[in-house]
Amino acid sequence: MIEKLRKERERIENRYFRSVRRPLDRIPTDGKFIQSPKMTTTFSRQTHTGNLPGKPLVDFKTLDQAEYYNTLLVQRDFSTVEEAINAAAGARLMLGELLLTSSRITQDQLDAALEEQKRTGEKLGEVLVRLGFFTQHEIDIALSFQSRQEEGTPSCLSLGELLISTGYITHDHLQDALDRQKKSNKKLGEVLVDAGHCQPHHIEHGLHIQKQLVAAALMAALSLAPINEAASSESSSVAMSTKIQVTATVLARASIHVLRQPAEIIITEADIKRGFLDVNAGSLVEIKNNSRAGVNLIFDVHGLPFKEALISGFGREVSLGPYGGIITHQITGTSIIAFSYRFIFDENSRAGTYAWPLSLSVSPLE
């Protein structure tokens, strides 16, 4: 029985250890948003569309748009074991439940390990390693992932961040809800609904996306385990045999990648009469910067005439004039930011369809 289960484990392992990094087409499957055959059919159609990887999933109604954009976000957070562990969020699961979500172990295998645990009194992780279902390094990764969930540390898969990235709430809504939550024993979703910031079905959808992407994060961490372990072993070996001192100057670099932004903006007569237009979570961007001093965010204006643009997403509201401007912000490492806008019209503003009026670039502060 144990030998049969071990062979099943090897079959699953071979399936999930093929790549060093979880490619975009793996994440929806890993998170069980879709099933593999459906993915294969959809991607075969992609060759006739010329779309970006993953985009056909939305075009053919395989993923909804919120799920698609969130897979784009987390794909960049699953590059290393450490990053995948740091993505852990949601309710803490017992080790057995957590490992089941990784699809690296079956219910029969887990049941066998639990029976063996009852017989020997060992910890579950120790039994799983002894039976050959997992390596010790993999169990250590799963336990770190579990601890990260227990801490409740903010991550890219926190419910609030997912609700922002899907456009259901703004950063201001989240901060208001977090402040309210401190004075109550309610969950964040309940506070957001009570405050009128979103609807119950938004919370349900956000929790669904969170659960699926957390499973994909754990899969990524475990799939990278052999590479991570080999690199650590090689590093230790080199450290024992050679001691090298290196001095280098690292040039300041910053980059921005627009994950989501409308191509056009529609102004109605009602908007003109009101005097402004609000665009909630209009831009979702990924900013990378290696300068500790921060970055300059450069907003260039074209197309739509307006008197002032109020931009939120920095934890504060910033005002730009009709010619754009530069905003200095303390961003180090990699950050995902959703910008919301209020365009305040001037006397030249007219109803119509315009190209998106702002372009954004970044430069590092020296």
Helices 107-120 and 2-16: angle between axes, nearest 10 degrees: 130
- Produce one character per residue of 248-282: b if its CB has 16 or more CB atoms within 10 Å, e if not: eeeeeebebeebbbeeebebeeebeeeebbebbbb
Place of tokens 């372990």: 229
Query: For residue 289, what are the β-bridge partners?
Result: 254, 333
Query: What CA–CA distance (Å, rounded) separates 349 from 308?
Result: 12
Query: What CA–CA distance (Å, rounded) separates 324 from 321?
Result: 5
Distance from the first to the final alpha carbon of the chain: 63
Nearest Cα residue to 334 out of 28, 78, 70, 24: 78
DSSP per-residue codes, 256-281: EEEEE--SEEEE-HHHHHHTEEEEEE
Q: What is the pLDDT of residue 19?
A: 39
pTM above 0.85, yes or no: no
Q: What is the pLDDT of residue 201?
A: 93
Q: What is the pLDDT of residue 66?
A: 56
- Which parts of the chain have pLDDT scores under 70? 1-79, 151-152, 225-250
113 CB contacts (<8 Å, ≥6 apart)? 96, 124, 127, 128, 131, 133
Query: What CA–CA distance (Å, rounded) separates 51 from 239?
Result: 46
Q: What is the pLDDT of residue 1?
A: 57
Encode pLDDT of 273-329 as tens digits. Answer: 999 999 888 888 888 888 888 888 888 888 777 888 898 887 778 888 888 888 887
Task: Give the β-pairing of 295-301 and 325-329.
Answer: antiparallel
